[in-house]
Each structure stands twice: as structure tokens, then as C-alpha cells.
Structure 1
Amino acid sequence: MISRIFFASLFLGMYSTGSSLSCKWIVKDPGDKMCQFSLHNKQALGLLDMMVSITNTTKVAEIEHNVAFPNRLYRKTSKATDKLAFIVQILEKLFALFEEDHSSASWEENTVENFLNIVNKQAEELRSCIGSHSYTTQKVQRRTEIHFKRLLNKILKKNGYSAEAWETIRNITKDHLSQCGFLVNSLGNAH
């Protein structure tokens, strides 16, 4: 009886890990240079480049020192499904952050909407790859939550949602999307 449970658990674990790796969204088709996630990520980064605001660069530099980038969180996830779940959480948090009042940033609303649509699409597609059975550890989830609360409170709210605060958020978002791209590429290179 115990051996049946063991083998069933082993099979389920292997299947769930393998299913995320076979996800069409993160695996390159033969002849393609990038997977779908990477293509969309490149588009999102391009839109962020278009959203540059003319700001006081000294003030932006001061603001950026308030919240450190969570490099450790990106290194904490080891299993493929954990990485995908972590990326989904990051994308959802970025989406929520950009829904805040960004009227002081001189961004074209259409560009922001396109950016949000791409980020949402990435999160939805990755979520469908992992299903509901995968999640990051509570510690990683909690630290990610804390990081994004700090971005909201110590950068946006503290600085009155200024153009400089949004420029800081835009730069941090580029770093997050780049790191998410590296994680996805590490999954694609594993197979």
C-alpha cells in the first residue's frame, strides 16, 4: 500500500514538473529564436523604453536607494514550477503597481495599456502552464509581497506619485522583466 502511494506521488511529481517544461509558452519551437514568453517580454521591455519620462535624474537616483532589488528572491526558486509560479506572482504585482495613478508621468495612455495587456497575457499563459497545484514557498511569496508594498509605499506614495517616482518604478520594472526572462530562458535551456 505504501509503495503504491509512493509511486503515485513520484509519478505526479514528475508529471507536474514535466508539464510546466512542455508548456508551449516557454519552450522554443524548432527554428524559432525565442519562446512566446521571451517575445512578449521583449515587447514589454520595448514599451517600457518608450515610457521614459523627462525627470530630475538626481531625484530619481535618491528614490532608487529606498528599496533594494530582490535579487535573492530570484535565486531562491529551484524547481521549474516554482520558478513559473514566482514569475506569475511578479507579473501580477507589476500589473497592479502600474494600475496606480500614473498621471504625473508623461506616458501615452495607449502605451501603458499595451504594456499592461502584455504583462497580463504573460501571467495568464504561465498560470495555465503550471495549473493550480504549483506555488512558491510562503517565505518567497511573503517577501515578494513585502517588496512590492515597499515599492508602492516608499517610492510612489512617499513621493506623491511624482514623475521621478514613476521613472524609478519603470527602471525597477525593467529589472524585474529582465530577471523573469532569465528564469524562463534557464527553463528552456534545461531541455
Structure 2
Amino acid sequence: MLHTVKHSTAHILIFTMTTWTGLLFFISSILSPALCIDWFSRYSHQSNISLTLISIMGGPMTDEESPVSFPYKLYRHIRRTEVQTQLVFIRESLNHIFELYHCGNLSSVTWDTSKTHHFLQSIHRQKTDLSKCVLSTKSENGRLKNYYRRLARKTLYRTAFSSASWELIRKVTEQHLEHLDLLVNSMRASAAASRRSSGPRPQKD
């Protein structure tokens, strides 16, 4: 009887450890292992920094609506794709966000200069770290590229980089960062579920 209990407990412990480490093993089996594990281990902290800074670097978010509809369908589509495609999408999204803030004159904004600088540093750090681990030969996502091109054209360029247009960009940026965070959480959940379904199960003697 004691032998049976010990035997079952050992299998349960193995199963639990497998579940907790499922995401890291799942990711490292597909991508550049050490670098991607490092990125995922830091992602939540870096994402929280970016979301906090975009919120506090200016006043309350504008109530104005963006002239370009948010690409909800694109995010839903990406959630159904393979891990490699999702990570490339995250990297491209971070790059497009970073480039938005470098495409024109920021002199009209009333944002806190230091917080804005640190926000852009956090975005750059995330996309740079992710670029080191994503082994991709995939072409750029055309729908995502066209979305950001239209967004810049219909807000910043149309208004000659007015303060109001930058506030719209700030609001939309927060939306994208929140959806990228949801995407990563979805990847974690899917990886953990996949690992559980294929992992060892407690055996009965």
C-alpha cells in the first residue's frame, strides 16, 4: 500500500512540474531556446512597464475615435496560427509602434518627456530581444503593415502632427499593447494545455 502511494505521488509530481514548465519547453522546441525562454520570462514585466508608461506619460486618454478601425479580426486570426507566426506578429507590431513615434514631429505634444523616452525604450527593448530569438523566414504581414500605414496617414500626416492626432496614436497604442498582452497569455495557456494533454499521467498499480 505504501509503495502504491509513493508511486502515484511521484507521477503526480512529475505531471505538475511538466505543466508548469510546459510553455518554456513548447517554445524552446520550436525557436531559439535560450533566448526565447529569456524573452518569455521577462515579457510580463516589460509589458507592464510599457502599459504603465503609455498611461501616465500624458493626461487622460482622449475620447476621440480613431479614423482607422482597430484590427480586431487580424488579432483573432493570429490567435489561430502557429507559435512562430504569432511571435513574428508580436515583433512586427512592436516595430510598427516604435516607428510611429519616430515618423514625425513630437513637439506639439504635452507629454512628460522623460516618461515618453522611457516608454519608447521599453518598446525598443522588447522588439530587439524578440528579434534575437525568432528564427523567421516569413514575409512581413501585409495586413498589419497596411493598417499602420493608413493609421499614420489619416492621423499624423493629415493633421501635420497635431497634438490631437498624437493623442489618438497614444490611445490606439495602448489598445495594441493590451491585445498583444492577451495574445501572449493565450499562447501560454495553449502551450500549457498542449503539454498537459501529452504529458505523463498518474498510473495505478
Give the TM-score category using the shorter length.
0.7 to 0.9
Query: Who is 1:38 aligned against?
Result: 44
CA contact (8 A) 1:20 1:80 kept: no
TM-score when normalising by structure 2: 0.70
Secondary structure of the residue aligned to 2:31 is helix
Q: How does 1:68-107 map to 2 (within 5 A)?
A: 68-77=69-78, 78-99=81-102, 100-107=104-111
Query: Who is 1:32 aligned against?
Result: none
Q: 1:21 to 1:182 in 2, by over 3 A?
A: farther
Q: Does 1:181 align with 2:181?
A: yes
Q: 1:17 to 1:79 in 2, by over 3 A?
A: farther
Amino acid at match of 2:172: I
Shift of 1:70: 0.7
Q: Compute the RMSD of aligned alpha carbons.
A: 2.4
Q: Could you list the per-position Cα deviations for residues 26-49 of structure 1 after superposition, in whole angstroms to 9, with x for gaps in the alignment? A: 54xxxxxxx411211110111111
Q: 1:15 to 1:93 in 2, by over 3 A?
A: closer
Q: Does 1:148 align with 2:165?
A: no
Query: Who is 2:127 aligned against?
Result: 123
Q: Could you list the per-position Cα deviations for residues 10-59 of structure 1 after superposition, in whole angstroms to 9, with x for gaps in the alignment? A: xxxx99863368722454xxxxxxx411211110111111122479x5xx
Aligned residues: 162
Q: Could you list the per-position Cα deviations for residues 107-129 of structure 1 after superposition, in whole angstroms to 9, with x for gaps in the alignment? A: 12221211111101111111222
Q: 1:103 to 1:15 in 2, by over 3 A?
A: closer
CA contact (8 A) 2:27 2:33 kept: no
Q: 1:70 to 1:21 in 2, by over 3 A?
A: farther
Q: For 1:145 and 1:178, how far apart are their aligned partners in 2?
A: 19
Q: Which runs of 4+ in 1 moved over 2 A?
A: 14-23, 51-55
CA contact (8 A) 2:95 2:127 kept: yes
Q: For 1:143 and 1:169, how far apart are their aligned partners in 2?
A: 18
**Structure 2 unpaired stretches of 5+:** 1-25, 193-205
CA contact (8 A) 2:66 2:172 kept: no
Q: For 2:110 and 2:93, how far apart are their aligned partners in 1?
A: 25
Query: Who is 1:31 aligned against?
Result: none
Amino acid at match of 1:42: N
Query: Who is 2:6 aligned against?
Result: none
Identical columns (%): 29
Q: For 2:133 and 2:179, how far apart are their aligned partners in 1?
A: 19
TM-score when normalising by structure 1: 0.75
Query: Who is 2:14 aligned against?
Result: none
Structure showing greater Rg = 2
CA contact (8 A) 2:28 2:37 kept: no
Amino acid at match of 1:75: R
Shift of 1:160: 2.3
Q: How does 1:3-18 map to 2 (within 5 A)?
A: 18=30
